[in-house]
Structure 1
Amino acid sequence: MSEVIRTYFFDNEEDRLLEARNIHFWRALAGHVQADRSVPSDATVLDIGCHRGGLLELLHERFKPARLVGIEPLVSARRVADRRLARFAAYTQLFGAEGWSRIPDSGVDLVVGHEVLQYISDLSLLMGNIRRVIRPGGFVYLALGCHTENPLWATWKHELEALGHGVYDHSPLQIMAAGARAGLAPSVRPLRDTGWVYHDPSVSGSFAYPSVAALLEHQFRHKLLFRFECHT
């Protein structure tokens, strides 16, 4: 996950639509965080791959943490996030890919990440960084549908590579094992397993679905939420 100097992740319009597509997943992630009661008062929240700051904004609205931290290698997106989050009372820090070294040991209460693991080559390094910064008793929630057990990933991977993105194959069990090796207790569940699926097939772009069956399979079966607990 190296520093990227490019204007957009996809393009201007697609980046704008990306947030509208992700909001339902972000709300589901926040719901699991709330159900686990895993955000203490005066919390520090870290979003890995925070893009334009939408998930951090949602978490601030839901939990009112004292400090927001984002790691985002895409320079333009980081600038948007900085402007967006500046209006909050929470202290905000946004870093590029090198930002891990600037986060203190045991300095974070909650770590989140949405669809970011496919851009990270070294899961062991990532989990080691997470383990260092998460406080004892803290939680990590990483949502991912772009993994090797999802039949759609093979197609989506080629689309991302054609756009110039470096992406990597990870299986769910590999992700869980990497966390366990770093000293984090892993668990997993579907991110969503009920409710309405919002999708507009008239909007062209990346990450298309060949059928409604595939859409439902993705959202209710293959879109996973990995949870890691730091016990000590």
Structure 2
Amino acid sequence: MSKTITTWYVDPDAEDRMADGHAPIWRHLIDLMAERDLSQKAVLDFGCNQGGLLRHLYAMRPFRKALGIDIAEQSIARAEALKGNLPVQHAVGASLEGWVEEFDLAISHEVIYLIEDIDAHAADIFKALKPGGVYYAVTGCHTDNPLWPKWRELVAKRTNTVVQDRSISDYGRIFAKAGFEVSGRKLEFDGFIPFVEDGWTPDFADALNYYTQTKIVFRLVKRPG
């Protein structure tokens, strides 16, 4: 994620389908967050794509302001077109240079497995957060996922990105090294999961296991002082 791209997916319609599929996951994630009142908070969505997560967050827990950043130029253009009057700024890129102790809350959903220099990313987020700030990093794309060998081939084929191979423990060590207090949990999505034969899960049982057992939520705290 060191350079910009035009679109995430080779198929231009895939991004809209992805946003529809992620919406219930985003709402579940928001419910899991310990931070309830965001009315005076600044929020970062790293890898925001078309801005859907921030729009859902604002509807559920209105924030003071937010930044959505992504390397896909068309995704950011779409996010800007859809934001309406929300207090959200969007930017194309992968660097948070210039953003120092600006955000109370940061989120990334299925982004960290694509970041080549994950140590630099962890340091970047740490610097951008205020003391006491929290980063929720969510991914099911890790080497502990039994579907990972198949998925990494699909990601390479269907997207304009480069996949990185890391385990759950790898991420824990990297974020701890950056200075974060690291904890985590399974997403344990408790809603109904649609039956979709799109090639990502060989059978429906795999889809059920993925959203309830495999997908991980890291809660990373920048300790004050």
Q: Name the counterpart of 1:107.
A: 102
Same amino acid, percent of matched pairs:
27
Instruction: Give yes or no for contact 2:38–2:62 (8 Å, CA) kept in 1.
Output: no
- Which deviations, in whole Å up to 9, do the C-alpha atoms of 1:29-54 show, x marking residues without a partner? 11111xx1255432111011000000
Shift of 1:193: 4.8
Q: What are the residue-to-residue correspondences of 1:116-195 with 2, within 5 Å?
A: 116-163=111-158, 164-195=160-191
Q: 1:8 to 1:228 in 2, by over 3 A?
A: closer
Q: 1:217 to 1:98 in 2, by over 3 A?
A: closer
Letter aligned with residue 61 of structure 1: A
CA distance in 2, matches of 1:119, 1:9: 13
Size of the aligned set, in residue pairs, is: 223
CA distance in 2, matches of 1:10, 1:115: 17
Gaps of 5+ in 2: none
TM-score of the two chains, using structure 2 as the length reference:
0.92
TM-score of the two chains, using structure 1 as the length reference:
0.90
Letter aligned with residue 88 of structure 1: N
Letter aligned with residue 155 of structure 1: K
Q: Name the counterpart of 1:224.
A: 216
Instruction: Give yes or no for contact 1:3–1:96 (8 Å, CA) kept in 2.
Output: no
Gaps of 5+ in 1: none
Partner SS state of residue 139, structure 1: strand
Greater percentage in helix: 1
Q: Name the counterpart of 2:206.
A: 214
Shift of 1:8: 5.0
Q: Name the counterpart of 2:30.
A: 30
Shift of 1:155: 0.7
Letter aligned with residue 46 of structure 1: L
CA distance in 2, matches of 1:158, 1:214: 17
Q: 1:136 to 1:48 in 2, by over 3 A?
A: same
